[in-house]
Structure 1
Amino acid sequence: MKGCSHRIEDSAIYGDWLPDPAYFVRHHPSTPARHPVWLLSVGLPAPLARPEPRQIAELRMLVRPHAHALFTGALDKEHLPLLRRAVVRLPGGQYGDHRDWTRIDRWALGIARQPTAEGAPERRT
């Protein structure tokens, strides 16, 4: 993590975080004083979404993040097997891009304004 002032760990969620991002967080925790951490999950649109992925409680204990954000993503039926498509449609799920870019931008700007480990917001040129 040399050269970084903030960490954002993220994963798409299908009930849980995907294995690779969860593995990375488990095996590369850093002290929040050195690298402030935020967790980000991108999941299915309502009514298919869960309130929070199951692994977040464990990951919170490992990295003590400033926060966890859950954003709705995009759902493309061509990326799903036929049976999964039926599961999506039954409870009223809809395909498409459901990302709320205003909310995402506000969240990212809030992180950018946070102090670095040295105490001052990092300046980017």
Structure 2
Amino acid sequence: MWTNDDALKQLAVRGFHGIPLTGSPGHSGMILLTRAWDEPFRDQVVIRGADEATACRVQIVDGVDVPRRKDCVWYSAGTVVEVADEITFHLPHPGNPHAPRSVIAVPDTLALPPGVRADVHA
């Protein structure tokens, strides 16, 4: 069974780089970890606490990395350990034919990295 430290080490080994984000008044800070792939994909993990983490893969549209243009093709939410396990061992490399590519609807209750919210066009 992994610990939170083990999960963070696995994310680092798998190419994630983290930055702390300070919270606004009345809101706690978080850690944002990102892993870039060849365009048009980027993986992101947001850690708000040991029991509150979110991960997503976003598709960058037209090579422009502007937050309002990002769309989620995959997401996971849970503890740090659960999310790290999902994104490092179960989400296929973007070049894999089984990797998600279609934009998906994201629940409004899901906490995504800052600026990432899927606009699903039906």
Q: Between Structure 1 and Structure 2, which shows a larger proportion of strand residues?
A: 2
* RCO higher in structure (CA 8 A, sep ≥6): 1
* Length-normalised TM-score, structure 1: 0.25
* Length-normalised TM-score, structure 2: 0.25
Q: Between Structure 1 and Structure 2, which shows a larger proportion of helix residues?
A: 1
